[in-house]
Amino acid sequence: MAENRPRVLVTGGSSGIGFELARQFAESGHDVTLAAQEVDKLEASAELIRERAPDVAVDTIAADLASEAGVYQLHRELKAQGLVDIVCANAGIGSGGGDFTETDLDQELRLIDLNVRGLVQLSKLVARDMAERGEGRILYTASIAGIMPGPFEAVYAASKAFVRSFGEALRNELADKGIHVTVFMPGPTETDFFARANMENTPAGQAAKDDAADVAAQAIQALQADRHAALTGSLKTRVQGQVAKWLSDPARAAVHRKQTEPLDREGQDSGGLGPAAIGGLFFVGALAAAGTAAWLQSREEPARRREPKADFEVAGR
């Protein structure tokens, strides 16, 4: 690693948004360390990044971040590589495909171990390192699903609500130690998430999705701008995130269900809020959010309008 190059850790860096975060950081002159469990996929992804960014160091650490031992292993190997300036806590899995009585408990417990327990453990270790030297940045991958209750992916949505709340709390708590924390919330993105979560047979699973490279670019921009939180992805995704803020929890759950309920279950009771009511709420909210979007975009300098942006924050800075 070059003395004057910052270094970035990306967990879940072998595919999807994590891979794009690592690639874009590398191409902008950062040394990167990718961490994931599948060794072959991890090394193949690292080699692709080396081809795109031959002048930086691209290292890998194979570890199971759903296990306590795996997180400690990652931290030991990371410290052996030297200082880490930015930690992208991106590793996570989903779980769906049925209602809570039908989904796999072992998969959901592993989801909690990776998305929540492992994230807290890694955050504790790297935050202490950063606090010791008085600087550092942490980027958390939450989800638009973390803004609302998530029927048919209840454990996943709750885990991402935890990430969002946890990241916001640490941002406030650790600011005086020189640690900057940003949370970003993508919507449905073109990755292997839906296949691995058993959610391909859902409206969200079959719909067009956001590009992982765009999502990553907006997340990096939010981190560099020191935003506390940002919705990332297409205008549609960001508007949906804004709309969700305006609805009650029952309405949010009903809207979410329309995207995550398996298609072979459609037509069953959706919890007391009919399709017309859901559509009306969403339409009114979308109009208001679209107006906000236009106003926000009109304030951007002309030179920056062409760049990927994360215009919609969940709350004021």
Q: Across the 317 residues of the chain, what is the mean pLDDT of every consecutive 10-residue run?
A: 81 96 98 96 97 96 97 97 96 94 96 98 98 97 95 97 98 98 95 89 90 96 97 90 88 92 71 44 44 44 36 33
For residue 167, how far is the Cα from the chain centroid? 11
Q: 172: domain range?
A: 92-304
Asked, for residue 120, whether it belongs to a domain, the answer is yes
**Number of domains into which the chain is organized:** 1
Please name the residues in contact with 175: beta carbons below 8 A apart, sequence gap of 6 or more: none
- Is the Cβ–Cβ distance between 199 and 96 less than 8 Å? yes
Asked, for residue 19, whether it belongs to a domain, the answer is no
Asked, for residue 151, whether it belongs to a domain, the answer is yes
Question: Which residues participate in catalysis according to the annotation?
Answer: 156
- Number of DSSP helices (H) and strands (E) in the chain, helices first: 12, 7
In this structure, the number of other CB atoms found within 10 A of the CB of residue 174 comes to 18
* CA-based torsion, 102, 161, 180, 316: positive or negative: positive
Judge residue 246's burial from the number of C-beta atoms within 10 Å of its C-beta, 0-12 exposed, 13-18 middle, 19 or more buried. middle
Residues paired with 204 in a beta bridge: none
Asked, for residue 56, whether it belongs to a domain, the answer is no
Asked, for residue 73, whether it belongs to a domain, the answer is no
- Is the Cβ–Cβ distance between 145 and 153 less than 8 Å? yes
Asked, for residue 50, whether it belongs to a domain, the answer is no
Q: Of 63, 75, 12, whose CA–CA distance to 37 is shortest?
A: 63
Asked, for residue 53, whether it belongs to a domain, the answer is no
Q: How far is residue 295's CA from residue 291's CA, in Å, rounded to a whole number?
A: 6
Can you give the CATH number for the domain in which 296 is found? Answer: 3.40.50.720
pTM of the model: 0.85
